[in-house]
Structures are given as C-alpha cells and as structure tokens.
C-alpha cells in the first residue's frame, strides 16, 4: 500500500490522472464562469489534461520530492544518497540521481523507441513494396511516416547520445556525477512523457503532416497535431536541461590536471553539441508553441487568414532542425574517435584539428538552415550565402574523416564489433557527406529536392552516420556498463547484416529521386516497382538484424564472459574503474597527467586514480 505513496511508477498511476482531472475541472469551471461555449471543448480539455498529466507524472515519479520537502520545511539530509545508484533491478524503474543509472535508463528507453520507430518503417515499407495501395490508407501512411521521423529524431537519436554521454562523460572527466543530478533525472523522465504524448496521438487522428509539421497543413490535421507539438516541446525541454547539465559538468567538474586539451574527444564533441542544443533547441520549442497557440488558442502566427506567414515557421523550424543534424552526429563523431583510437592502439591523428572541427561544425551549423528551403519561395538573395556556408561545413567534416584514416594507418587494428561499426561508419558516412555537398548547390538541389534523393541522403547521414556510431558506442562500452563481454561472433553477424542491408535499402533511393519519385507518397509510378521491392525486402532484413543485436545484448549481459576493468586496454579514465563502476565512481579524485590517447608510448598513463581506504570515503548509502 505504501508503494502508491512513495515515489514510484505506481504513484504516477494515480498522480498523473489526478493532475489531469484537476486541470480539466479548473478549465471547465473557468469556461462556464466566463460563458465560453462549448464548455466541454474537447481539444482544450485534452490539451490541459496532457500538460497537467505530464507534470503529474514527473511529480509522481518523485522529480520534485526533494524540493517539496524543502519547501514545507521538512528535514533534508545532505548526505542522503538513498536515490543514488541501482542496488536492484527495480531501481531502474525509479527516480534515480546516479548518472550511470540515468544513462542506462536513457539508452534502454530510447532503444525501445528505436524499435517502435523501426516497426513503423517496416509497416510503411510493406505498403511501398508493390505499386498500388494495399495495406494502408493515405492518412495512415502519412501518420506512420510522420511518427517514424519524429520518434527516431526526438525520442531516439537526440536522447540516446545524451544517454551515452550521461554514462560515460562524468567517468571520462573524473567526476563523481553530473553537476545537477536531480535535473538530470527529471530530463530523463520527461522523455517517457514526450514519447507517450507523441505515440498517443494515434488515438486522436494522428498527425500526418510529416515530421516537420509545416503550417498550414498542420492547421487542418486532427488533434494528433497538437500532441506532436506538445511532444516536441517536452522532448526539447528534456534535451535543453541535459545540455545545460553537460556544459556545467564538463566546464566545472573536470579532475585536476584535465585541461581542455587533455579531454577525450567524446567530451569535446559533447561540449560542442551541448552548446548547440542550448542555443538552438529553444527555436523549435518556440515554433511549436506558436503553432500550438494557432491551433488551440486562436492566435495567428502562421495562419494566413489572420495575417500570419507560413514561411516564418519554416525559418524558425530549420534554425533548430539543421543544427539538430549536428546534435545527432557530433557525439557520434566523438564516439568514433574513442573507438578507433582504442581499437587501433594508436593516438588520434591530429587531436587538435578533430577537437576544433567539432567547434567549427557547431558554429557553422547555425548559418546553413535555409538550405532546406531553396524551393520554398524564400528571399532569393539568401540562396548563395547559405550555399557557401553549407559547402564550407564539408571541410571540418572531411578533416575528421581523414584524421580517423590517419589514426588507423600504422595502428594495430583489433577487428572487434565496435571497431567494425566504426570502420563501416566511415564508408557509409562518406556517401552521405558527398550527397550532402551535392545538395548544397542550389540549382541541383532545386531540381530534386523533396524527392527520394533527399530520403537517401539523410538516411545515409542518420543511419549510416549516427546509428552506426551508436552501435559502435554500445559495443565499445558494453563491457564497462555490464561487466561482461558481448559475443563477438554474433556481433559480427549483426554488423555485416546491418551494413549490407542498410546499403541495399538506402542506395537505390538516390536513383529513385533522380528519376522523379517524390517523398512521402504511398504509391508510385510503375517504373519504380522493382526498386521499391528490393528496398522493402532489404528494409525487412535491416529490421531483423536489430533483433540479433537485442539478443546479443540481453544474453551477454547475463551470461557473457567476465570483462574485467579494461578489456580493450583503453587509457581514458572510465577504464581505470571496475566494470561496472562503483556507485560513487572514483574512490578518490583522480589526477590527470597526460593526454588521453598515449598509445604506443611505453608505460604511458592518462591519469592516476589514488587508492584510498574505503573507510575514509563517504559512501554511506
């Protein structure tokens, strides 16, 4: 019985509905007092219920318990670590302030969302397998492709990097935790709320305007569109809070001796990404607020009849959503630097150039948004400067690719699954990068924009880029997180099937686009029949390959060979701890005495972790 009063998911089950009910009551009362008709306006009541229910969920899980206790003058113990660290399975389903627990919560939750988003893709690929419409109606089709995009971007790819960063970054910089552990937990628990909001839109006529949600189509859609706008705001809030946390943690909590130029490159990448998130994400949140107000409150930011402007939405939307592409790839670049250096037993080639190219991409990333709008009817003069800035971004990206090749050259490459994914990533990402250069050039872009060429390009960048790096990271840190080794043979099968199926799925889309197949269509001209069949079959194999990964992770986490502290012989700080690391990370503050990639140097060390008697360390739980 006490379970429903303590901060648990069980408490959410009544607190969230209670908040929603209260909000509905207040709204109904206010509407009847002020004589607004109809009093029971369905969309208004749903919106307040969702907002209040979301807050109620965070309250229920215990997000504000500490602050509430302080507010009512209750007793607080500064050394109370009862919510820190996982002592049993159940702790992963609770509000927890340990960055390692939060990291795992993020990774597992977002990966489940990846499977959900992937399922949507499999469903609409089955519609696309043959010409004509057999499986889905137009509306269902548009709903599925929109959900696929939004789920993949906002509740998988952006947050999964926050999850990997959460687990690894504090360890890498020698910190005890993130700077704001409670904010960190709240950021995570906002994600299930965002995902629920997005996915439940299916019940109310799902949003079907594409993941971009452009007005004025968004004004026509069913109530699901409002839930999309709300869901994106929630995911955005989570993402901003995490980024602030990373910034403060990386700037203020590095171990003594860890100068900026001794930071591992993943830390550099996360620093650049977090700066991007903090500066850019408010734009999409703002755009969604305005679009939601238009729908639910009768404002006229984007409605034509009220003097609004739809082009403004596109500018604000892409002012975030282009930097978002770098938010989804920069941490991946960081992972690749770690993985390749460690598994090639060689220092990262051109560390400074790689570090600064992250910063360069982050800054240039703000000056390229309008390349999504070359055919939108925007101001024509804007085309040339945006084209030039977009082309320039190829240079820091190229530096990274060549530096990774330079890192591998002369190394001793251990062909682990992690390294295979890193190498496969270079192959596929080069293709996505090159088609990106093509698309930067205005006349070419205008001739094929909104076609399958675009779909091919961004899947090469996001699947061939981001997801390959995510897999590389998962395999690389799996022994650290679980204390056990994954199965290399199964891992290799996973890599090869994913790699081959991915290329067969996405490469033919370039040709489809060039010939004239538009994106976001449920049916196509007969000439595309065989290529779509090939793509759909490959997409099913690609989906199935994910299950191999899931099997490997679950099976190895329980039955894998014991990993030991440092199975890869890494030099960065996380490898100096046991696997999995102790709940409070380091027994004493580590000292950093050199660069992070001193491979090939006799007896070289990046850092020293002093051994302190456990009794003198505050680890009272």
Partner 1 sequence: MKTIKVLPLALLGTVVGIVISVILIFTRTLPVQASAEANDIDNLYIFFLGFSGIIFGIVVLFLLVAVYRFRARPNDEREGDNVHGITWLEVVWTVIPFVIVVLCAIGGLIVLRSGDVEAQARTKGQQIHVLGYQFGWKYAYLNQGIDLKDQQTLVLPVNEPVIFELESNDVIHSFWVPAWRMQMNATPGQVNEISTTPTKIGSFEIVCAYLCGVGHTNMNSALPGSIIPKVQVVSKSDFDAWIEQQKAEAAKAAESSSAETTTGSAG
Interface with partner 1, residue 434, by CB under 8 A:
yes
For partner 1, the binding residue among 9, 176, 598, 609 (CB under 8 A) is 598
The burial class, CB within 10 Å (0-12 / 13-18 / 19+), for 203 is: exposed
Interface with partner 1, residue 384, by CB under 8 A:
yes
Return d(Cα 459, Cα 173) in angstroms, integer: 33
Return d(Cα 205, Cα 159) in angstroms, integer: 26
Return d(Cα 406, Cα 428) in angstroms, integer: 18
The alpha-helical segments, DSSP class H, found in 253-375 are: 265-297, 310-327, 330-344, 351-364
Please report, as residue ranges, which positions from 10 to 29 form the binding site for partner 1 (by CB under 8 A): none
Question: Which residue, 84 or 125, has its beta carbon nearer to partner 1?
Answer: 125
Interface with partner 1, residue 413, by CB under 8 A:
yes
Interface with partner 1, residue 387, by CB under 8 A:
yes
Interface with partner 1, residue 202, by CB under 8 A:
no
Interface with partner 1, residue 345, by CB under 8 A:
yes
Return d(Cα 299, Cα 292) in angstroms, integer: 9
Contact flags string 482-521 toward partner 1, x per CB under 8 A: -----------------------------x--xxx-xxxx
332, 463, 464: which is closest to 400 by C-alpha? 332
Question: Which residue, 189 or 463, has its beta carbon nearer to partner 1?
Answer: 463
For partner 1, the binding residue among 322, 383, 457, 459 (CB under 8 A) is 383
Helix, coil or strand: residue 348: coil
Please report, as residue ranges, which positions from 577 to 596 form the binding site for partner 1 (by CB under 8 A): 595
For partner 1, the binding residue among 103, 159, 308, 590 (CB under 8 A) is 308
Please report, as residue ranges, which positions from 61 to 120 form the binding site for partner 1 (by CB under 8 A): none
Helix axes 138-152, 224-252, angle to 10 degrees: 10
Return d(Cα 376, Cα 373) in angstroms, integer: 5
Stretch in the footprint of partner 1 (CB under 8 A) among 58-66, 190-198, 399-407, 579-587: 399-407
Contact 426, 405 (CB under 8 A): yes
Stretch in the footprint of partner 1 (CB under 8 A) among 8-16, 175-183, 342-350, 572-580: 342-350
Please report, as residue ranges, which positions from 600 to 619 form the binding site for partner 1 (by CB under 8 A): 600-601
Interface with partner 1, residue 408, by CB under 8 A:
yes
Give the pair of three-digit tokens for residue 65: 């318990």
Shortest distance, position 593 Cβ to partner 1, whole Å: 16
- What are 607's strand-pairing partners? 592
Helix, coil or strand: residue 305: coil
Return d(Cα 525, Cα 569) in angstroms, integer: 55
Question: Which residue, 383 or 484, has its beta carbon nearer to partner 1?
Answer: 383
Interface with partner 1, residue 405, by CB under 8 A:
yes
Question: Which residue, 216 or 566, has its beta carbon nearer to partner 1?
Answer: 216
Question: Which residue, 102 or 258, has its beta carbon nearer to partner 1?
Answer: 258
């Amino acid at each position: 019985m006490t379970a429903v009063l303590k901060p648990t998911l069980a408490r959410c089950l009544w607190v969230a509905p209670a908040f929603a009910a209260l909000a509905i009551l207040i709204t109904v009362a206010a509407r009847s007092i002020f004589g607004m008709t109809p009093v029971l306006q369905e969309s208004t009541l749903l919106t307040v219920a969702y907002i209040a229910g979301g807050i109620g969920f965070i309250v229920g899980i215990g997000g504000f318990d500490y602050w509430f206790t302080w507010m009512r003058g209750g007793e607080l113990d500064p050394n109370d670590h009862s919510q820190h660290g996982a002592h049993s399975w159940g702790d992963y389903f609770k509000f927890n302030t340990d960055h390692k627990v939060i990291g795992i919560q993020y990774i597992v939750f977002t990966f489940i969302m990846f499977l959900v988003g992937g399922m949507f893709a499999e469903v609409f690929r089955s519609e696309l397998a043959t010409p004509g419409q057999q499986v889905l109606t137009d509306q269902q089709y548009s709903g599925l492709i929109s959900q696929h995009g939004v789920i993949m971007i906002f509740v998988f790819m952006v947050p999964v990097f926050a999850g990997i960063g959460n687990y690894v970054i504090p360890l890498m910089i020698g910190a005890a935790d993130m700077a704001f552990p409670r904010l960190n937990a709240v950021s995570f628990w906002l994600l299930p709320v965002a995902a629920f909001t997005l996915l439940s839109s299916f019940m109310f006529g799902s949003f079907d305007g594409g993941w971009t949600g452009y007005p004025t189509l968004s004004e026509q859609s069913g109530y699901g569109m409002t839930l999309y706008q709300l869901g994106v705001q929630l995911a955005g809030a989570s993402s901003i809070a995490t980024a602030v946390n990373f910034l403060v943690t990386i700037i203020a909590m590095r171990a003594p001796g860890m100068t900026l130029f001794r930071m591992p490159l993943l830390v550099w990448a996360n620093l650049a990404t977090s700066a991007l998130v903090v500066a850019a994400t408010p734009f999409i949140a703002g755009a969604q607020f305005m679009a939601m107000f238009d729908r639910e409150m009768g404002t006229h930011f984007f409605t034509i009849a009220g003097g609004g402007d739809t082009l403004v939405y596109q500018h604000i939307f892409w002012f975030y959503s282009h930097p978002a592409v770098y938010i989804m790839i920069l941490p991946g670049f960081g992972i690749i630097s770690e993985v390749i250096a460690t598994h090639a037993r060689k220092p990262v080639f051109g560390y400074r150039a790689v570090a600064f190219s992250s910063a360069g991409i982050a800054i240039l990333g703000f000056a390229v948004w309008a390349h999504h709008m070359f055919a939108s009817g925007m101001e024509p003069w804007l085309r040339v400067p945006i084209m030039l800035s977009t082309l320039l971004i190829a240079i820091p990206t190229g530096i990274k690719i060549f530096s990774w090749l330079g890192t591998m050259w002369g190394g001793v490459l251990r062909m682990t699954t992690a390294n295979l994914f890193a190498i496969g990533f270079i192959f596929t990402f080069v293709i996505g990068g090159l088609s990106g250069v093509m698309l930067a050039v205005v006349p070419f872009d205008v001739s094929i924009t909104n076609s399958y060429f675009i779909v091919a390009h961004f899947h090469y960048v996001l699947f061939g880029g981001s997801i390959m790096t995510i897999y590389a990271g998962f395999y690389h840190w799996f022994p650290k997180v679980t204390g056990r080794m994954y199965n290399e043979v199964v891992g290799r099968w996973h890599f090869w099937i994913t790699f081959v199926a991915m290329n067969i799925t996405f490469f033919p889309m370039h040709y489809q686009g060039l010939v004239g197949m538009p994106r976001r269509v449920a049916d196509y001209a007969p000439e595309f029949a065989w290529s779509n069949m090939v793509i759909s079959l490959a997409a099913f194999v690609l989906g199935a390959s994910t299950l191999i990964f899931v099997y490997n992770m679950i099976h190895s986490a329980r039955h894998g060979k014991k990993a030991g502290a440092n199975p890869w012989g890494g030099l960065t700080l996380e490898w100096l701890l046991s696997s999995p690391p102790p709940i409070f990370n380091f027994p004493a503050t580590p000292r950093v005495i050199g660069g992070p990639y001193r491979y090939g140097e006799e007896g070289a060390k990046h850092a020293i972790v002093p051994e302190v008697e456990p009794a003198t360390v505050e680890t009272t739980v």
